[in-house]
Amino acid sequence: MKKLENLLKKMSLDQKIGQLLQLNSSLLNREKTNIVTGPQQKLGLTPEMLQCCGSVLNFDCAESMIALQKAHLEQDPLGIPMLFMMDVIHGCRTIFPIPLAMGCTFDTELVKKCVTMSAKEAAASGVHVAFSPMLDLVRDARWGRVMESTGEDPYLNARMGEAFVKGFQSDILDRPEYIPACVKHFAAYGAAEAGRDYNTVDMSEHVLREYYLPAYKAAIDAGALLVMPSFNTIGGTPSVANKHLLRDILRDEWGFDGVVISDYAAIREMRVHGYVETDKEGALKAMEAGCDIEMMSGAYPKHLKELVEEGKVSMEQIDRAVMRVLRLKDKLGLFENPYRYASAITEKVLSTSFESRSLVRKAAAEAAVLLKNDGVLPFSKDVKSVAIVGPFAEEKGIKGFWSCYGKDEDCVSVAEGVRAKLPDADIVTAKGCSHELLDRDTSGVDEAAKAAAGADIAILCIGEYQNHSGEGNSRADISLPYPQRKLAEAVLAANPNTAVLLFTGRPLAIPELGEAAPAILNMWQPGTEGGNAAADLLFGDAAPGGRLAMSFPYMTGQCPVYYNHMNTGRPLKKDFRTAAYCSRYQDCPNDPLYPFGFGLTYTTFEYGEIKLSADSMKPDGKITASVTVTNTGDRDGAEVVQLYLRDNVASLVRPVKELKGYQKIFLRKGESREVSFEITDETLRFWRADGTYGSEPGEFSLALAPSSAAPLTNTFRLD
């Protein structure tokens, strides 16, 4: 630390402020630095500011990182290396399924392995920090960034957040794959009103703490070294200036002393929100809230100096922020080796290596959710003819949004995967229609239906293209586009041995498929090995391992729909068509089409009677809940046994059920196993009416079940 304190003493105020600025690599391209061109000018940046810049985002590869770092060090009198950061969200060059799909694996060890694989690739490309994990709890499938989250449940998101952080920040610091994780977007970005990106968020402190904060906290407790505030306001305050979030909760309550970095131009956007009149005010508010680095806007470089000279920002505040950045650089050993593990050769060797491809192929099978199967799946490998139809039949753009350096051309399409699986079969493909959202062209439907009719089996590949979810890509209607609905109708009528392969970055409203398709296998956006994983699943070399981490609505109008909702004073107790004066729709059930935790596989499981070790417990006691699960099918398979609880009466209304634990078990056909969960006082705690966190005595209901749709069957008391 002495070394850093001595360095700080040597730094001018300009040099200190430079450490608090992050710019796109394109703005730092050295031959341009001396001529302040459009983009730099637009941000009001001078050549001196560019020369002091402390960190970079969005650069191409190891070579460009090395060149940028070298050019920077040659002109930086203090030789302070820059930090290089990238959105390594679900892979770096070899892409694994989108995080929403990874949440469906309910397998944190697998998630960790995939993240560590991506960290190794990222380190070779010169990445020092990953803007990941994104742990925004999501309930509204209209929001495009649900693909980037791990779903609607606080408990599952917390486990996944821990897995992402431990995947990036492996225990051994001086390993290439040690890449500091940046938890985002703090906080509650997933609650954007109407599912429209960047939109207003408003919620009670109770809901914020009960549902939206736990996953961020779990990731920070797991050691995440950076946090990124969200674009949205909460109660009228933009997160980047929200002292309650960034100081009271993050720093004071949670003890976080890492780096807080704004989201892209979020400090400047405070003017657009109408929260400040000038960038100078924005710089003051963000600094006061504790935002250390400004990403891609110029408020800090332009105004912090005068704010210090005017005494509105103290040198202590500046020094504290700068020290956090220097400490991070020092932790990564950048002062000794500013290039760390950047290597064009390693980058090439690791990128889509056989080992990486094998891992992401397995992950895609584990993340896939079998939503329906009337028995057509798995197909026999002895089929003579196969029709692969639909806009995703030969589509290679199935790696998903936010896929870093990943390339579509590296992805395996469904047609490629099936051809590799069945080299002797007669395989025809027909696109049938586009995957464009607003397209109305159905001229290719007949040809596709004919292809399906003429084959032993048909694989109907439909859904949502990768660039129709992700940032800035909300949808007001999440049903299948008209041409795809017509295509599905025609193909399903043409061949009863048809399986639907769904590609999507979000839950879609697909009641018509739920009705008419013999089988629906949701692949999400499966990544580089999507087509091979699909073939493995379709022909039984792998079994679908996923359980939904986010509910599938019947229709858009149900959004937001989620399982851990309140009961209301007038719950719907019978058929929505005949019910009256209760919380219902006249034209749609309340329940989703496919609920949280749901997913089929190629075998069946039977749950025995749930046993409780006692029917009451003291706060210092515990109760063990057990159930015997039997694989009653004719194939081995994995099951996710889920523990749901309800606090039946409390000082604040509690959800009808909450996931409080899960165990993914693998059972051979015919095998039985007892699965147990320990319930302690901690399991029963919540943010109570008086604002404290704790349990309350009373009766609790419980289920050990295959999904959130199961009824609560047992009760116990906390005395």
The catalytic site residues sit at 263
Q: How many CA atoms lie within 13 A of 265 on its CB side?
A: 9
**At CA 378, angle to CA 376 and CA 380, rounded to 5?**
95
Tell me: does residue 136 bind ligand GLC (CB under 6 A).
no
Rounded-to-integer distance, Cα 500 and Cα 517, Å:
7
SS3 697: coil
SS3 134: strand
Tell me: does residue 131 bind ligand GLC (CB under 6 A).
yes
The residue among 239 and 373 lying less far from ligand GLC, judged by its C-beta, is: 239
- Alpha carbon of residue 131 to chain centroid: 12
Tell me: does residue 269 bind ligand GLC (CB under 6 A).
no
**At CA 364, angle to CA 358 and CA 366, rounded to 5?**
105
Can you give the C-alpha Rg of the chain in angstroms? 26
The residue among 184 and 305 lying less far from ligand GLC, judged by its C-beta, is: 184
SS (H, E, C) 386-450: EEEECCCCCCCCCCCCCCCCCCHHHCCCHHHHHHHHCCCCEEEEECCCCCCCCCCCCCCHHHHHH
Nearest distance from residue 297's CB to ligand GLC, in Å? Answer: 12
Residues 295-354 binding ligand GLC (CB under 6 A) are none
Task: Please classify residue 2 by burial: count the beta carbons closer than 10 Å to its beta carbon, then call 0-12 exposed, 13-18 middle and 19+ buried.
Answer: exposed
Helix, strand and coil percent figures for the chain, each rounded to 5: 35, 20, 45
Name 98's Cβ contacts closer than 8 Å, sequence gap at least 6.
89, 90, 147, 148, 400, 401, 402, 505, 524, 525, 527
Which of 57, 192, 370, 371 touches ligand GLC by CB under 6 A? 57
- Which string of DSSP letters, residue by residue, matches 461-505? EEE--GGGSSTT---S--BPPHHHHHHHHHHHHH-SSEEEEEE-S
Residues 655-714 binding ligand GLC (CB under 6 A) are none
The residue among 136 and 416 lying less far from ligand GLC, judged by its C-beta, is: 136
SS (H, E, C) 210-229: HHHCHHHHHHHHCCCCEEEE
Task: Please classify residue 99 by burial: count the beta carbons closer than 10 Å to its beta carbon, then call 0-12 exposed, 13-18 middle and 19+ buried.
Answer: buried
Nearest distance from residue 382's CB to ligand GLC, in Å? Answer: 47
Number of residues binding to ligand GLC, judged by CB under 6 A: 7
Which of 87, 153, 162, 281 touches ligand GLC by CB under 6 A? 87
Pattern of binders to ligand GLC over 160-199, x per CB under 6 A? ------------------------x---------------
The residue among 222 and 226 lying less far from ligand GLC, judged by its C-beta, is: 226
Rounded-to-integer distance, Cα 192 and Cα 234, Å:
10
- Residue sitting closest to ligand GLC (CB): 131
The residue among 212 and 605 lying less far from ligand GLC, judged by its C-beta, is: 212
Sole residue written with tokens 């048909």? 458
Neighbours of 391 (CB within 10 A): 24
Task: Please classify residue 309 by burial: count the beta carbons closer than 10 Å to its beta carbon, then call 0-12 exposed, 13-18 middle and 19+ buried.
Answer: exposed
Closest CA to 373 of 161, 208, 694, 598: 598
Nearest distance from residue 293's CB to ligand GLC, in Å? Answer: 12
The residue among 54 and 432 lying less far from ligand GLC, judged by its C-beta, is: 54
The residue among 215 and 455 lying less far from ligand GLC, judged by its C-beta, is: 215
Which of 436, 471, 489, 591 touches ligand GLC by CB under 6 A? 471
Tell me: does residue 264 bind ligand GLC (CB under 6 A).
yes
Q: How many CA atoms lie within 13 A of 627 on its CB side?
A: 24
SS3 109: helix
The residue among 147 and 457 lying less far from ligand GLC, judged by its C-beta, is: 147
The residue among 142 and 486 lying less far from ligand GLC, judged by its C-beta, is: 142
Nearest distance from residue 286's CB to ligand GLC, in Å? Answer: 16
The residue among 439 and 471 lying less far from ligand GLC, judged by its C-beta, is: 471
Tell me: does residue 128 bind ligand GLC (CB under 6 A).
no
Tell me: does residue 263 bind ligand GLC (CB under 6 A).
yes
Sole residue written with tokens 């392995």? 113
Backbone angles phi, psi at 363, to 5 degrees: -60, -40
SS3 570: coil
Nearest distance from residue 69's CB to ligand GLC, in Å? Answer: 19
Nearest distance from residue 557's CB to ligand GLC, in Å? Answer: 28
Q: What distances in angstroms separate CA 453 from CA 378, 431, 542, one per listed residue?
A: 19, 15, 27
Pattern of binders to ligand GLC over 499-518, x per CB under 6 A? --------------------
Which residues are at the interface with ligand GLC (CB under 6 A)? 57, 87, 131, 184, 263-264, 471
